[in-house]
Structure 1
Amino acid sequence: MPRLSIILPAKNEAPALADLLPRLKAAQPSAEIIVVDDGSTDDTAALCAGHGVGCLSSPYSMGNGAAIKRGVRAATGEILVFMDGDGQHDPEDVARMLEKLDQGYDMVVGARDWDSQAGVGRGLANQLYNWLASNMTGHTVADLTSGFRAVRANRFREFLHLLPNGFSYPTTSTMAFFRSAYPISYLPIKAAQRVGKSHIRPLRDGLRFLLIIFKIATLYSPLKLFAPASALFFLLGLINYAWTFVYEGRLTNMSTLMWSAAVIIFLIGLVSEQITALTYRHDD
Structure 2
Amino acid sequence: MNIQASVVIPAFNEQERIEHTLKTLKEQSWVQEIITVNDGSSDATGEICEKYSDVTVHFKSNHGKGQALKAGWEKANGLYIVSLDADIGSTASEGKKLLTPLTYPFIDVVIGTLPPSKKRGFGFVKRKAQNVIYKKTGKWVTSPLSGQRAFHRKWLPALLNKNYNGFGIELAMTIDLINAGAQIVEVDTNITHRHTGKNLSGFLHRGKQWLHIEAALRGG
Give secondary structure in 1 for the equivalent of 2:91. Answer: coil
What does 1:121-270 align with in structure 2 at a 5 Å threshold? 121=122, 123-194=123-194, 201-202=204-205, 205=208, 208-209=211-212, 211=214, 215=217
Partner of 1:15: 16
Deviation digits for residues 199-233 of structure 1, max 9, x if unmatched? 99348616515616x82xx78xxxxxxxxxxxxxx
CA shift in 2, pair 1:203/1:174, >3 Å: closer
What does 1:89-128 align with in structure 2 at a 5 Å threshold? 90-104=91-105, 105-115=107-117, 119-121=120-122, 123-128=123-128
Identity among equivalent pairs (%) = 23
Which structure has the higher relative contact order (CA within 8 Å, separation 6+)? 2
Give secondary structure in 2 for the equivalent of 1:159. Answer: helix
Query: How high is the TM-score relative to the length of structure 2?
Result: 0.83
Range with bigger deviation, 86-95 or 157-166: 86-95
- Per residue, is there more strand in 1 or in 2? 2
Question: Residues of 1 paired with 2:177 and 2:29: CA distance?
Answer: 26
Give secondary structure in 2 for the equivalent of 1:86. Answer: coil
| Paired amino acid for 2:109 | M
Query: How high is the TM-score relative to the length of structure 1?
Result: 0.66
How many aligned residue pairs are there? 213
- Asked if the contact 2:85/2:148 (under 8 Å) is kept, the reply is yes
Deviation digits for residues 116-152 of structure 1, max 9, x if unmatched? 7x6223x232033224423442223111111110011
- Asked if the contact 1:15/1:195 (under 8 Å) is kept, the reply is no
CA shift in 2, pair 1:164/1:9, >3 Å: same
| Paired amino acid for 1:109 | I
CA shift in 2, pair 1:195/1:142, >3 Å: closer
Question: Residues of 2 paired with 1:184 and 1:33: CA distance?
Answer: 24
Where structure 1 has 5 or more consecutive residues not aligned to the other structure, the ranges are 220-284
Note the C-alpha offset of 1:114.
Answer: 3.8
Range with bigger deviation, 193-202 or 67-76: 193-202
- Asked if the contact 1:162/1:172 (under 8 Å) is kept, the reply is no
Where structure 2 has 5 or more consecutive residues not aligned to the other structure, the ranges are none
- Per residue, is there more helix in 1 or in 2? 1
- Asked if the contact 1:147/1:170 (under 8 Å) is kept, the reply is yes
